[in-house]
Structure 1
Amino acid sequence: MTRSGTLDAAEPADLDTARRRLATPERLREFFRPRSVALVGASDSSGWGRFIVDSLRTAGFTGALRMVHPSRPTAFDLPTVPNLRALDEPVDLAYVLAPTRAVEGVLEDAAAAGIRNAIVLASGYGDGGGEAGRALERRLVERAVELDITLLGPNCLGFVNAAGSVAPFGLGIVPPLRRGPVGIVLQSGALTSNVLAFARAHQVGISLLTSMGNEAVITTADVVEHLVADDDCRVIGLFLESVRDAPRFTALAAAALEAGKPIVALKVGRTEAGQRTALAHTGAVAGDDAVVDAAFRQYGVIRVGSLEELLVTAGLLGSGQVPRGRRMGVVTASGGACDIIADRSTDEGVAIPGFAEATTERLRAVLPPFAAAQNPLDVTGVILADRGSAQAGLGDVALDAVVDDPGIDFVFNMVALPAVEPPDPSLIERRVAAIAASRDRSPVPVVNFTATCTDLSPYAQSLLDRHGLHALGGIEFGLKAVGHALRWQETRREPPAVRAAGPAPTPPGLPAGSWSEARGRDLLAGSGVPLVPAELVGDADAAVAAAERFGGAVALKICSAAITHKSDIGGVALGVSGADDVRAAFARVLAAGRAATADVDGVLVSPMRPPATELFVGVTVDPSFGPVLAVGLGGVFIEVLHDVALRLLPVDAAQVHRMLGELRGAAVLGGARGTRPADLDRVAEVVTRVAGAAAGLGTALQTLEINPLRVDGSCVEALDVLVVTS
């Protein structure tokens, strides 16, 4: 089951407002904790019904389970009633197994019986992609609003509330159901079983897991808002096919960040850039998926590339042993593992510093002569010896030494766990108990991991659970999880600027379409953005006079709102000096402009600048997320490299600083090929002012672009400006 077609932004605002009242955190708290459930359309021949009954039992549901069928006397060994109106008292939740044509009548029965919550399994609504299905789904929303029924679906399998011991869920759940701090929301149906299976096999406890179906009434954002407020949930995991309401999503992400609840998201559906335009580069480099990626990073949403990565990361974040700094101590029993960890830690920005001398001395006293007392530490395979070996406790002593090292922020500790309970479990029991004791006395978090991402056996899970330990699934996913956790904490320490509820009011009198460069320069100057000096002239004599005032060589550019790519038509002359050459260049540039359009304001004359670092700064409007700032290397490099960092507006100087550091070519800003190192504080200040100028255009903004922004030490100037409004 997928949610390939849902109601879109064309949904009337008043209907959406009414829908939201059915899906508040208060309503969802009631929805996800029913004390009694009715299966409408239940019969022994229904595979869906059998799954739901079995899932409720697996979850430990002890409430009333009522069967509803219009003609069969019993279902699943329980008596039936013909309809919901015939119940002797209302249930908290109706799971509707009826066909699409009968759903509306079932909802009417539910409302008449005093039932406020329903799950609808039937498909054939917006999921079909046709207009008739969308109209049917809109009708479903209208009826839910009229009847005051909170509805999950349609085209939905239901949910698993492990914390509340209730699982009205239309697929089988393999016991036991592991309870824990991770709430998971999936815009998918069938994947829920895979998620539950992996979570169970890797010690990831679930508080709530729900499939969303078509999100007709309850949406993903609604459930995220519920989980942010839910005390049973400490980490939120998402499988997303789309971000339906981007402004609300970013607001919820900011709320989760403030509440200290990480959001880990697998967003699928990477697409080509959705905002290509012949007028500007910004739309081409700020494609749909790049904007999603930037928005997630900006608001602390951890984006992952697989379900395994999602669940291992969520498991770490919910374990209580989350790294707080980037200096990692490593303890393994494998030199090969040390090599892999050393390589991958660099990718994640995690440092492996040398141990303090006191730590090294403690390790040398216990390590075998052939082992090196260094970080990452290989205590060697002798720890696998039997309990009679003199080295049997080596791993415990080594871990104790490393956790005490003053230069370490956390320890990455490898554990070897048996697939089955050994004939004599005393050795492994003692080792795991020793790891727990080291964890308990450690001044820093101890992150345990297994060498590969294999399922933990029931015995291994029981062993870890008895000692309150969690082990990440493999080196690769384990270090990715560590990197994600560190970046999330850094974002939380420097939260993003608060977004306004809506765009700024549009100033009156703005032109529609592209602006002349002279008008664009006025806009930037009004926002305090420094620009290379320029004079707009209308004849050759004025051009010569302007050139003489500037002194030295000058640039001449045609100025017309109708001409956005000046060099393409011969409308630019560079490095011009001397009165005669200025006159000739003016004539060429003006003639080129007039050959292209009658709408010519004149010619801009500017002083030439010596070579320096060039940046690109642009703001465009993403159809979902709104204004997006792009910063990258400028000039021709923006077309060739597309090396840009993106942020949603608003931004502050600290955000821009981080953007500059994200560029692959960030080293250029430190001074390259004779250029002076950039004053990053000054650059960040100027870029922030550019973003403010763009935001000030309100809903009229389409594109504002500077290419290049010249940076020479602390001298920062815009050389070329493009503004497009709509």
Structure 2
Amino acid sequence: MTGRLDRLLRPRSLAFVGGVAAERSIDACRAFGFAGEMWGVNPRRTLSDLPTVASVAELPEGIDAAFVGVDHDATIDTVRQLSEAGVGVAVCHASGFAEVGAAGKVRQVELVEAAGAMAVLGPNCNGLLSAPTGAALWPDAHGLVRRPRGVALLSQSGNIAMNLTMSRRGLDVAWVISLGNQADVGISEAFEAVVVDEATTGVGLCMEGLNDVERFVEAAAVARRRRLPVVAVKVGASPSSGAIAVTHTASLVGDDAAYEALFRKMGIHRVHAIDELVDTLATLSAIGPLRGNRMVSLSCSGGEAALVADRSQGRNLSVPQFAPDHAARVASALDGRVAITNPLDYHTYIWGDLDRLSRCFASVLGADATTPGTTAHGGTHTDTAGGGSGEAPFDAAMLVLDFPAEGLDRSRWWPTMQAFATACANGDTPGVVAASLAENLPDEARSQAAEWGLAACGDIDNALSALEAAAAWGRHLDDTEPEAGLLVVQAREAPLGTSVLPEHEAKPRLAAAGIEVPMGRLVEPQQAAAAADEIGYPVAVKAVGAAHKSDAGGVAVGLTDADSVAAAAGRIAASVGAPAAVGVRAVMVELCITDVVAELLVSVRSSPPVGMVLTVGAGGTLTEVLDDTASLLLPAGGDTLEALRDLRLWPVLAGYRGRPAGAVDAVVNTVKLLETLVRDDDRIIEVEVNPLLVTPHTAVAADALMVLAND
């Protein structure tokens, strides 16, 4: 375990400083079964019948962790005394620090200085719950029970952390850490500490941002090596900084996209709601990574089957139909009375009949209905959803099952879950039980599902999200693991401000890096026609210096003769003008690229604190309208092609309805060259190519901007 926090995760001795809040924490430790030494610190009274001393200086040596429940001013002095006494970690409950403004920020700096080498959790936090030890440095209610192993839940929000402990969704929790203001210990250090503990089975993150990206990346790499599922909710999506709002990328892709790219790169599954976090983490902990994304859904209702089909749309899940021979076996198990489709409505005429349900579900999963560990064909699977590949027909199965309310007879529902569990076990197929309404999956059903080796999700959407996460996790684990230290290129700050290089200055830099740009000239308007004759037609005439030339009427394209070039150059120079740096009213005359298959946007931009973010997407004048982008962290490696395939524009690039395909290899190479340019020039804060014109044979940067940090 990491040195600073091991005494927090598994403390053997605790101290409690303060009054009411300290007593609540003491009572929580007793109720939780903490068996180590506990001491109170209060100059006026005894705390909850503990051995109580008047000052921190009177505590015995070697206290592992202390709960500090005094006001913000007294917290600073107390932390200084705890540090001098050699206490391992201080949990600071008080508010009134950086979250309240300038004066609070000063107090927070003083708090960290007072702590010295001692770790500080908080301030403005609920603290820690340790189910393996029973330690509860936590002055509020919680719903955890003692257990030796489980997931770790790390939350910047104390109230969300408390709410997570109250969940009844079958998630085994070992640690909850409320981080508060993260004045010292941040979510990255806490993540690092829990992933190396052998009792940790997974990690859930509720976060607003990161304070140490490199540490976070290293911790995620450890989680991958240990095959621990990690699921994150990130709140507080931030707008782009004003320094780089000049580009299309800034208006399309906020800084939140950098976190999305970081999570994807590190194999962390992002969700957007707390219930989804709990269900997804519980499912991943129960079934592990999937070998693929093919799933089958079972329900006794056509409406539920249709709902599953609808809700699986747009997810990276495959819901394949049964191969003919497979469908025949399923139909036989259902006496030929049911249309065999996936999702499958097996109807209610076998409801409550364990034997017939078992035969039905076993036929669906290619399993023997009675003998554990075998298939319907003996030994290995020969049945697939597509027919004959020698693999299991599905990578996962979902059963939709809503139980009656408390007090009603549930006896006829249990055979369905039991038959499903048997078929999943015998067919070596991970299984998930979900209800159409979360309240219809009672605690009893969740517990029984876990006992039978199934995962349980509150509703269909969460179940599908969890299966999608399990499939993505399996793909991530199959990928070749790069060195952790090379996973993220650090973001770049511009403390002295930035300067924007317009197209006529940015494109020569691109050309010097090996990126193809159109032949062009920067000329005075009266020289435009001669320049066009030299370049060759058709040409474009562009304004110089405008960031969004099309919006300003600063572009004329497809010009095929000298007269039209001269007229366009005069109009553009008069209406748009030229920047002072150029010194004259100038225009760009540039060769038009023909046979264009698609227009792309390609950019690299600094997104502190996460890293340098590559964005690819639909480009041109409709960039914001189409809003079709994918983002990756640098180095992108071999992920660029996958990002292109994720675009809605991909069918056009691939050759839509017999039309020519674009030179995708040239696009990927352009991205590599752009990445090298940014890597080699640490002044570049952002570079955007829009559009990158893709033809059947090449990719050409038709327009570009750069944002540089000032010297």
TM-score by length of 1: 0.84
1:143 corresponds to which of 114, 118, 132: 114
RMSD: 3.4
**2:507 is the alignment partner of 1:521:** yes
Q: Is the 8 A contact 2:153 2:176 kept in 1?
A: yes
Q: Is the 8 A contact 2:293 2:395 kept in 1?
A: yes
Return the letter of the residue paired with 2:95.
S
Q: Secondary structure, in 3 states, of the residue corresponding to 1:67?
A: strand
Q: Secondary structure, in 3 states, of the residue corresponding to 2:200?
A: coil
Q: Residue 308 of structure 1: CA displacement? A: 0.2
Return the letter of the residue paired with 1:306.
A
Q: Residue 173 of structure 1: CA displacement? A: 2.5
**2:156 is the alignment partner of 1:187:** yes
**2:346 is the alignment partner of 1:379:** yes
- CA deviation string 1:125-150 (max 9, x = no partner): 22322x222111111111111xx322
Q: Is the 8 A contact 1:505 1:697 kept in 2?
A: no
Q: Is the 8 A contact 2:400 2:436 kept in 1?
A: yes
Percent identity between matched residues is 31
Residue 305 (structure 2) aligns with: 338
Mark the CA change 1:211 to 1:279 in structure 2 (over 3 Å): closer, same or farther: closer
Return the letter of the residue paired with 1:202.
R
Mark the CA change 1:598 to 1:59 in structure 2 (over 3 Å): closer, same or farther: closer
**2:686 is the alignment partner of 1:717:** no
- CA deviation string 1:385-428 (max 9, x = no partner): 3xxxxx33222222222222433222213456576699897x77
**2:48 is the alignment partner of 1:85:** no
Mark the CA change 1:414 to 1:491 in structure 2 (over 3 Å): closer, same or farther: same
Q: Is the 8 A contact 1:593 1:600 kept in 2?
A: no
Mark the CA change 1:217 to 1:363 in structure 2 (over 3 Å): closer, same or farther: same
Mark the CA change 1:277 to 1:213 in structure 2 (over 3 Å): closer, same or farther: closer
After alignment, is 168-177 or 260-269 more displaced? 168-177
List aligned pairs for 1:217-256, cutoff 5 A. 217-246=184-213, 248-256=215-223
**2:680 is the alignment partner of 1:696:** yes
2 CA distance for matches of 1:144 and 1:533?
Answer: 62
Return the letter of the residue paired with 2:104.
G
Residue 360 (structure 2) aligns with: 398
Residue 14 (structure 1) aligns with: none
Mark the CA change 1:598 to 1:567 in structure 2 (over 3 Å): closer, same or farther: farther
Residue 37 (structure 2) aligns with: 64
- CA deviation string 1:649-674 (max 9, x = no partner): 2223x322222222233333244699
1:599 corresponds to which of 546, 571, 582: 582
**2:640 is the alignment partner of 1:683:** no
Mark the CA change 1:139 to 1:409 in structure 2 (over 3 Å): closer, same or farther: same
Q: Residue 607 of structure 1: CA displacement? A: 2.6
1 CA distance for matches of 2:332 and 2:567?
Answer: 85
2 CA distance for matches of 1:112 and 1:142?
Answer: 12
Residue 116 (structure 1) aligns with: 88
Return the letter of the residue paired with 1:182.
V
2 CA distance for matches of 1:679 and 1:620?
Answer: 24
2 CA distance for matches of 1:321 and 1:619?
Answer: 35
Return the letter of the residue paired with 1:339.
A
1:444 corresponds to which of 417, 429, 446: 429
1:100 corresponds to which of 65, 72, 77: 72
Residue 138 (structure 2) aligns with: 169
Q: Residue 636 of structure 1: CA displacement? A: 0.9
Residue 6 (structure 1) aligns with: none
After alignment, is 102-111 or 236-245 more displaced? 102-111
Q: Secondary structure, in 3 states, of the residue corresponding to 2:313?
A: helix
Q: Residue 313 of structure 1: CA displacement? A: 0.4
1 CA distance for matches of 2:548 and 2:143?
Answer: 63
Q: Residue 458 of structure 1: CA displacement? A: 4.9
Q: Is the 8 A contact 2:295 2:396 kept in 1?
A: yes
Q: Residue 224 of structure 1: CA displacement? A: 0.9
Residue 33 (structure 1) aligns with: 10
Q: Is the 8 A contact 2:88 2:119 kept in 1?
A: yes
Q: Is the 8 A contact 1:180 1:207 kept in 2?
A: yes
1 CA distance for matches of 2:464 and 2:357?
Answer: 21
- CA deviation string 1:629-662 (max 9, x = no partner): 222222211143332222222223x322222222
Q: Residue 708 of structure 1: CA displacement? A: 1.6
**2:519 is the alignment partner of 1:533:** yes
Q: Which consecutive residues of structure 2, in runs of 5 or more, have no partner in the other structure? A: 367-382, 385-392
Mark the CA change 1:128 to 1:366 in structure 2 (over 3 Å): closer, same or farther: same
2 CA distance for matches of 1:288 and 1:297?
Answer: 15
Mark the CA change 1:521 to 1:140 in structure 2 (over 3 Å): closer, same or farther: same
2 CA distance for matches of 1:171 and 1:126?
Answer: 22
Q: Residue 303 of structure 1: CA displacement? A: 1.8
2 CA distance for matches of 1:63 and 1:636?
Answer: 67
1 CA distance for matches of 2:328 and 2:142?
Answer: 52
Q: Is the 8 A contact 2:401 2:433 kept in 1?
A: yes
Return the letter of the residue paired with 1:617.
V
Mark the CA change 1:293 to 1:444 in structure 2 (over 3 Å): closer, same or farther: same
After alignment, is 213-222 or 107-116 more displaced? 107-116
Q: Is the 8 A contact 2:170 2:447 kept in 1?
A: no
Mark the CA change 1:357 to 1:40 in structure 2 (over 3 Å): closer, same or farther: same
- CA deviation string 1:8-44 (max 9, x = no partner): xxxxxxxxxxxxxxxx8222122211112222225xx
2 CA distance for matches of 1:450 and 1:594?
Answer: 64
Q: Is the 8 A contact 1:331 1:398 kept in 2?
A: no
Mark the CA change 1:724 to 1:92 in structure 2 (over 3 Å): closer, same or farther: closer
Return the letter of the residue paired with 1:149.
M
Q: Is the 8 A contact 1:39 1:49 kept in 2?
A: yes
Mark the CA change 1:725 to 1:81 in structure 2 (over 3 Å): closer, same or farther: closer
Q: Secondary structure, in 3 states, of the residue corresponding to 1:627?
A: strand
List aligned pairs for 1:354-433, cutoff 5 A. 354-368=321-335, 370-385=337-352, 391-404=353-366, 405-406=383-384, 407-415=393-401
Q: Residue 353 of structure 1: CA displacement? A: 1.8
**2:660 is the alignment partner of 1:660:** no
Mark the CA change 1:65 to 1:358 in structure 2 (over 3 Å): closer, same or farther: farther
Q: Residue 489 of structure 1: CA displacement? A: 3.1
Return the letter of the residue paired with 1:722.
L
2 CA distance for matches of 1:597 and 1:113?
Answer: 65
2 CA distance for matches of 1:539 and 1:470?
Answer: 70
Q: Residue 505 of structure 1: CA displacement? A: 13
Q: Secondary structure, in 3 states, of the residue corresponding to 1:190?
A: helix
Q: Residue 93 of structure 1: CA displacement? A: 1.8
Mark the CA change 1:383 to 1:598 in structure 2 (over 3 Å): closer, same or farther: closer
Return the letter of the residue paired with 1:34.
P
2 CA distance for matches of 1:456 and 1:37?
Answer: 40
After alignment, is 27-36 or 716-725 more displaced? 716-725
Q: Secondary structure, in 3 states, of the residue corresponding to 2:40?
A: strand
Return the letter of the residue paired with 1:122.
A
- CA deviation string 1:274-314 (max 9, x = no partner): 44756422222222333333333343332212110000000
**2:632 is the alignment partner of 1:647:** yes
After alignment, is 415-424 or 242-251 more displaced? 415-424
- CA deviation string 1:494-515 (max 9, x = no partner): 4797345647999xxxx97333
After alignment, is 107-116 or 689-698 more displaced? 107-116
2 CA distance for matches of 1:332 and 1:102?
Answer: 60
Q: Secondary structure, in 3 states, of the residue corresponding to 2:278?
A: helix
2 CA distance for matches of 1:585 and 1:345?
Answer: 52
Return the letter of the residue paired with 2:689.
I
List aligned pairs for 1:585-596, cutoff 5 A. none
- CA deviation string 1:491-546 (max 9, x = no partner): 4444797345647999xxxx9733354442222122221222234556967953x5
Residue 300 (structure 1) aligns with: 267
Mark the CA change 1:665 to 1:332 in structure 2 (over 3 Å): closer, same or farther: same
TM-score by length of 2: 0.85
1 CA distance for matches of 2:564 and 2:694?
Answer: 28
Mark the CA change 1:645 to 1:122 in structure 2 (over 3 Å): closer, same or farther: same
Mark the CA change 1:502 to 1:633 in structure 2 (over 3 Å): closer, same or farther: closer
2 CA distance for matches of 1:340 and 1:571?
Answer: 50
